[in-house]
């Protein structure tokens, strides 16, 4: 775990205790939730490192705990074709790898994980694209007054779009099942 991630995790887990005189005694105490997320990150990183070794792909693994979630990033200093293959077309391989990593954490901890895996900044880039999709849909709804159905996307991506649509003052709802689950944006 990077020093920054550890420092961030500790900063969220400071407990203030006041003695009889009212003087604050502030000491870093890891909560069980933060500790669990750090353990989840370590297990995920070990699993992913082993997979990278088996596939003979170079990449550095960064772990960050924020907003009650573990974020794992695999990055390479140079453009590595092997890492790009782990993203796949439209992030399909990345989604599958994230699910396998969550299963590895579940197997080790007997607790479901909500960790998010990113490779070479794909999710960050995709978030910008999803913001644009939400803005375009919102503009269309405001102009025509008619609901707009978006293409199917993963639960993680739908969450990003739902948040963006809400920030734009409109309503969004997920419809459909399985791989066909998509968002419909409307004015009400």
Give me the pLDDT at residue 127, please.
92
- Indicate the pTM of the whole model: 0.70
Task: Please give the full DSSP string across the chain, using - where no structure is assigned.
Answer: --HHHHHHHHHTTEEEEE-TT--EEEEE---HHHHHHHHHHHHHHHHHHHHHHHHT---EEEEEEETTEEEEEEE-SS--HHHHHHH-GGGHHHHHHHHHHHHHHHHHHSS----EEEETTHHHHHHHHHHHHHHHHHHHHHHH---EEPPP--HHHHHHHHHHHHHTT-EEEEESSGGG-EEEEE--
pLDDT of residue 15: 35
User: Residue 129 is encoded by which pair of tokens?
Assistant: 């694209």
**pLDDT at position 118:** 95
Find how far residue 30's CA is from the centre of its chain.
22
Strands 148-149 and 24-28: unpaired
What's the CATH class of domain 125-186? Answer: alpha beta
pLDDT reported for residue 155: 85
Residue 121's pLDDT is: 92
3-120 against 125-186: fold identical = no
* Cβ 87 vs Cβ 16: under 8 Å: no
- pLDDT on residue 79: 67
Q: How far apart are CA 16 and CA 13, in angstroms?
A: 10
In the prediction, which pLDDT does 125 show? 92
Neighbours of 155 (CB within 10 A): 9
Tell me the CATH architecture of domain 3-120.
2-Layer Sandwich (3.30)
Domain boundaries, the chain: 3-120, 125-186
Which pLDDT value is given to residue 21?
47
pLDDT value at residue 12: 37
State which residues of the chain have pLDDT below 70.
Answer: 1-31, 79-81
């Amino acid at each position: 775990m990077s020093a920054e991630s550890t420092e961030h995790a500790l900063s969220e887990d400071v407990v203030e205790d006041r003695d009889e005189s009212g003087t604050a005694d502030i000491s870093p105490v890891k909560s069980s939730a933060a500790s669990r997320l750090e353990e989840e990150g370590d297990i995920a990183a070990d699993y992913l490192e082993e997979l990278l070794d088996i596939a003979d792909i170079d990449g550095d693994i960064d772990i960050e705990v924020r907003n009650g979630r573990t974020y794992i990033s695999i990055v390479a200093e140079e453009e590595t074709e092997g890492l790009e293959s782990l993203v796949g077309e439209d992030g399909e391989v990345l989604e599958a790898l994230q699910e396998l990593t969550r299963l590895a954490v579940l197997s080790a901890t007997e607790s479901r994980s909500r960790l998010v895996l990113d490779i070479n900044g794909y999710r960050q880039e995709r978030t910008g694209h999803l913001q644009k999709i939400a803005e375009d849909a919102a503009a269309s709804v405001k102009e025509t007054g008619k609901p707009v159905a978006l293409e199917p996307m993963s639960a993680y991506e739908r969450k990003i779009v739902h948040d963006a649509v809400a920030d734009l003052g409109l309503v969004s709802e997920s419809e459909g099942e399985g791989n066909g689950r998509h968002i419909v944006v409307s004015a009400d």
